[in-house]
Amino acid sequence: MEREDRYHSGPPEPPARHAGEPPVEYQPPAEPRGPAPEYPDDPWTDEDDQRARANMPGAIRAEDTEPYLALQYVARLFKVAAMVVVVALVAEIVAGVVLEGAGALLPLMAEVIRGVVLASILWGAGDLTLLLIDVGHDVRAARVLLGRISVRAAETLPTPDDRVS
């Protein structure tokens, strides 16, 4: 019941007034103070200027935004290979039991253990490849941020004329 009292969907109630106080009337917000400021067009319109802008230390290069496609395919390859090993193990167990009977289960256990270890190593290699992709993204981000920091630091360094001798 208390919750319904605090949370209702109706219009808000006016604040409590003291005796003799005039009612408060709604006033719309003030008009904006003028048009929005106009910003100059991009100064980097010339092709040579754009090339110079791309070579600046703080700029993001095309290599910084490309995905690691080859590593993604290698990770998928490892994981698919692990799945193939597991399917082959299941097929080997089924074939052993069908052909040899229940007596084949004990000798197949060694094969199963080896196969599971191999599948685990392959799956782990796929996960490590994905981890390498994440590390590469972090290195790229650090390179971009370091370039931006170096540009800002170079802008704030005093020139030789500013130094006191």
- pLDDT > 90: percent of the chain: 28
When comparing pLDDT for 90 and 162, which is higher? 90
In a domain, 3, yes or no: no
The pTM for the full model equals: 0.54
Tell whether the torsion through CA atoms of 86, 90, 96 and 97 is positive or negative. Answer: positive
The arithmetic mean of pLDDT across residues 85-90, rounded, is: 96
pLDDT in tens, 115-143: 999 999 999 999 999 999 989 888 888 88
In a domain, 27, yes or no: no
In a domain, 72, yes or no: yes
Which pLDDT value is given to residue 8?
A: 52
Domain count, the chain: 1
Domain region containing 130: 67-157
CA separation for the pair 97, 121 (Å, rounded): 27
In a domain, 109, yes or no: yes
In a domain, 6, yes or no: no
In a domain, 81, yes or no: yes
pLDDT in tens, 36-82: 656 555 555 566 565 656 566 556 666 666 778 888 999 999 999 99
Q: CA Rg, the chain, in Å?
A: 35
Which pLDDT value is given to residue 102?
A: 83
In a domain, 148, yes or no: yes
